[in-house]
Amino acid sequence: MPRAFRELGLLFILAIIPAGIAGWLKPEVFSRDSIPSISVQDAQRTGREQSVLWIDARNAEAFARGHVPEAIRLTNEEWESLLLPVMETWTPGQTIIVYCDQETCNASTTVAARLQAELGIETIYVLKGGWSAWRQANQS
């Protein structure tokens, strides 16, 4: 058993070397900023003050059941087929707000992070509470 722990310790130490090289090659992993979130109220206010592009990161079925007016779909899974319409609609400088189902979904963060990383879009937010928060705010 002590031999097993010695081997385990060696494996832990060995892993530091490639991990360190990977960190040196990909320093952006440390500057990975989480995408800022925006409340429904602030999002609506922003929408009144400036042009906002709403992106729905849910599946087609959920989108068909209901979505934010003028929102267009973009998901991580259908990125290649859905990105072109998004790029044709978006104008440089326009704020993007991405949403998914609810607070505990991460599809919106994934899509927003990908838009930020691959296209360099800076003014991008994730809607706090997602579609359910939007629906609740607009029902009452």
Partner 1 sequence: MAASESILMRVLRWLLAALFLITGALKAIDPVGTAQSIGNYHLLPGAIVPFTALYAPWLEILCGLALLSSQLRRGGWLLALLLSAVFLVFTTSALIRGLDISCGCFGTGQRGNLPWVALLDTAMLALSLRGVSGFVRAPRDTAMRSESRMG
8 Å CB contact between 82 and 88:
no
C-alpha 65: how far from chain center: 22
Give the footprint of partner 1 on residues 18-47 (CB under 8 A).
18-20, 22-23, 26, 28-30, 32, 34
Q: Determine the Cα–Cα distance for residues 101 and 40; give it in Å rounded to an integer.
A: 13
**Burial degree of 123 (CB within 10 A; 0-12, 13-18, 19+):** middle
Nearer to partner 1, 22 or 60 (CB): 22
8 Å CB contact between 90 and 98:
no
Near partner 1 by CB under 8 A: residue from 48, 61, 80, 104? 104
C-alpha 93: how far from chain center: 18
Near partner 1 by CB under 8 A: residue from 89, 93, 117, 136? 117
Near partner 1 by CB under 8 A: residue from 36, 66, 70, 77? 77
Q: Applying CB under 8 A, does 81 fall inside the site for partner 1?
A: no
Residues that bind partner 1 (CB under 8 A): 1, 3-12, 14-16, 18-20, 22-23, 26, 28-30, 32, 34, 76-77, 100-102, 104-107, 109-110, 113, 117
